[in-house]
A and B are shown apart, each in its own frame.
Chain A
Amino acid sequence: AQSVSQHNHHVILSEAASLELGCNYSYGGTVNLFWYVQYPGQHLQLLLKYFSGDPLVKGIKGFEAEFIKSKFSFNLRKPSVQWSDTAEYFCAVKRSGSARQLTFGSGTQLTVLP
């Protein structure tokens, strides 16, 4: 079965620090990749997505992610985090041929200290 792993369960950073959250998936075929963010008490919102082409994708709020096919990874990065980035971040994968189902990772809680 396909799985998505987010190895960092809780990350604590100070403002202006750089961020990298790991995401690895186990499916070997063609995939679509997503990062979602969930601010406290809110629903999930799309940060960015990768379907094809340039493996470095840029999303909203200064986030970017790099797809490395050989490593089955799609890590999320931000050069300088802000207190308002405190949230839970979810990586998600859709494999080709599936209707539109996403498999989500377990999430990474990011806390940014002011």
Chain B
Amino acid sequence: NAGVTQTPKFQVLKTGQSMTLQCAQDMNHEYMSWYRQDPGMGLRLIHYSVGAGITDQGEVPNGYNVSRSTTEDFPLRLLSAAPSQTSVYFCATTGEKGSPLHFGNGTRLTVT
């Protein structure tokens, strides 16, 4: 039982390049979300989804797109990377309301 799997673990991009961060879960959780973690700022919510076909914006959605075609997968797309998107990205899921979030191991992204 893998839980929440994020790929890749590390990525370096040049400004303007695009990429997709993958998140897959095998816990059949309805809720999936993406956070970015920056020093001194904690974790900030980028986008979230409460089920297949449903997505919504979080606190810092600009520059990121998401889709949720299946329960298991919730990819995060950077269409044109900027240095301000250098960060550690965490995918998190949860089942029933009130249950704690389960986090993936993170993707460390550097944009030069």
Do A104 and B48 have beta carbons less than 8 Å apart? Answer: no
Supplied contacts A43-B103, A43-B105, A100-B101, 19 more A-B pairs, CB within 8 Å: A4-B42, A9-B40, A42-B105, A43-B106, A44-B90, A45-B103, A46-B100, A46-B101, A100-B33, A100-B94, A101-B48, A102-B43, A102-B45, A102-B101, A103-B59, A104-B43, A105-B42, A106-B40, A106-B41
Do B48 and A44 have beta carbons less than 8 Å apart? Answer: no
Q: Which residues of A, 1-48, contact B by the 8 Å Cβ criterion?
A: 4, 6, 9, 32, 34, 42-46
Interface size class of B (residues with CB under 8 A): 20 to 34
Residue-by-residue, is B71-103 near A (CB-CB < 8 Å gives 1, otherwise 0)? 000000000000000000010101001111101
Choose one: B42, B58, B103, B104; the contact of A101 (CB below 8 Å).
B58
- Among A49, A90, A101, A105, chain B packs the most CB atoms within 10 A around the CB of A101
Choose one: A42, A99, A100, A106; the contact of B42 (CB below 8 Å).
A106
Let me know if A51 is at the binding interface, CB within 8 A.
Answer: yes
Chain A binding surface SS class: loop
Closest beta carbon of chain B to A113's beta carbon, Å: 22
B residues within 8 Å of A by Cβ?
A: 31, 33, 35, 40-45, 48, 50, 56, 58-59, 90, 92, 94, 97-101, 103-106
- Among A6, A44, A45, A107, chain B packs the most CB atoms within 10 A around the CB of A44
CA distance A41 to B31 in the complex (A): 25
**Residues in B whose Cβ lies below 8 Å from that of A49:** 100
Q: How many residues of A contact B (CB 8 A)?
A: 24
Q: Which residue of A lies closest to B103 (CB)?
A: A43
Closest beta carbon of chain A to B59's beta carbon, Å: 8
